[in-house]
């Protein structure tokens, strides 16, 4: 028994040493870096809307209030083009896109922060959703010091960070590969509609600390008791997308009403204000037909949660509506 316990201890020490011996991609411009420059031809689109929930300037002194710098519209469009929006301690932003992001070869999108150099790194977790309700976080890893707090303008080594937005200086995006989240129940990696960025409170204080996927405290510049404290979101660039622009043109008048929308799974969708309905079809974000019903104004939402297109046929006319199944 004593021998077995010794082996277990040695194995644990070996595994801990192995993890801490890891090294991740270096800063932008260095060999092996995964940083993506804002002007890269890899980007095919950018976020078109953003919702922000502000965090405190200093979560340990809430009397200072919330951060105020920038506004949500500044996260729309290309990086370094519209300014930034500060999230504050633990604040978050949710970005949406003209077309769903899809899982393809290599990285699928990138998040931009506005750091002025390669070592002043304000970090954030990144999560994605294909229904706007259920979010899934990329497995993050931080090998930074967990004993000595990084000060408000302290340095962080990018080679000790993985899957944390803010790893690279301004103008260079941190990329994310949806393949890492494949096969997660409730997530369609080929139809990601929302990207959520959650500020990491970089405090090592137990009551405020945030942890990576290995349970390590994540250390980044803290406190930052300023109106622009926390992660500064610049942009989210899309590398792979599923284009559904062909669905946007309506040939019937705008009078068609589809309700309820959003609709609960397995509930009926009702189409009104159209005299004759020949066919109802529901397509997923990949353009695949998933449901069809003839000569009725009702169709049951028997599909996975997500964003779909409802195609309504009436005589020689067609109307299309975006629907959300919850």
In 3-state terms, what secondary structure has residue 268?
Answer: strand
pLDDT value of residue 244: 59
pLDDT of residue 54: 98
Which two three-digit tokens encode residue 93? 């932003």
Q: Dump pLDDT digits (tens) for 270-325.
A: 988 777 888 888 988 777 888 988 888 889 999 988 888 898 888 777 788 889 99
Q: How confident is the model at residue 161 (pLDDT cuts 50, 70, 90)?
A: very high
Q: What is the mean pLDDT of residues 84-92?
A: 98
If you average pLDDT over residues 88-92, what whole number do you get?
98
Q: Which domains does the chain have, with CATH numbers?
A: 28-238 (no CATH), 245-325 (2.60.40.3080)
Q: What is the mean pLDDT of residues 87-111?
A: 95
Q: Which of 19, 47, 158 is nearest to 110 (CA)?
A: 47
The C-alpha angle 43, 106, 174, rounded to 5 degrees, equals: 60
**Among candidate residues 209, 117, 216, 234, the one with its CA nearest the CA of residue 163:** 216
Q: Which residue has the higher pLDDT, 238 or 19?
A: 238
Residue 254 has pLDDT above 70, yes or no: no
């Amino acid at each position: 028994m004593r021998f077995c316990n010794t082996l277990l201890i040695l194995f644990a020490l070996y595994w801990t040493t192995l993890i801490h011996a890891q090294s991740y991609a270096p800063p932008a411009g260095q060999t092996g870096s995964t940083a993506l420059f804002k002007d890269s031809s890899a980007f095919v689109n950018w976020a078109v809307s953003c919702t922000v929930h502000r965090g405190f300037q200093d979560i340990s002194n809430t009397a200072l209030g919330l951060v105020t710098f920038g506004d949500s519209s500044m996260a729309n469009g290309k990086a370094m083009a519209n300014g930034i929006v500060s999230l504050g301690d633990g604040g978050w932003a949710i970005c949406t896109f003209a077309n769903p992001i899809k899982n393809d070869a290599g990285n699928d999108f990138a998040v931009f922060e506005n750091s002025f150099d390669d070592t002043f790194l304000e970090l954030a977790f990144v999560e994605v959703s294909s229904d706007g309700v259920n979010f899934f976080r990329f497995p993050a890893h931080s090998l930074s010091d967990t004993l000595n707090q990084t000060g408000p303008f302290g340095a962080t080594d990018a080679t000790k960070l993985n899957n944390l937005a803010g790893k690279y200086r301004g103008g260079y995006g941190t990329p994310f590969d949806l393949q890492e989240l494949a096969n997660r129940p409730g997530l369609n990696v080929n139809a990601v509609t929302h990207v959520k960025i959650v500020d990491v409170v970089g405090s090592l204080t137990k009551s405020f600390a945030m942890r990576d996927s290995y349970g390590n405290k994540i250390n980044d510049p803290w406190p930052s008791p300023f109106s622009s404290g926390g992660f500064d979101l610049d942009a989210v660039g899309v590398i792979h997308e599923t284009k559904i622009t062909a669905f946007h043109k309506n040939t019937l008048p705008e009078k068609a009403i589809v309700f309820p929308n959003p609709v609960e799974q397995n509930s009926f969708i009702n189409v009104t204000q159209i005299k004759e309905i020949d066919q109802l079809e529901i397509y997923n974000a990949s353009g695949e037909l998933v449901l069809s019903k003839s000569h009725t104004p009702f169709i049951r939402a028997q599909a996975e949660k997500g964003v779909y297109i409802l195609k309504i046929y009436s005589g020689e006319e067609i109307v299309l509506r975006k629907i959300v199944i919850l």
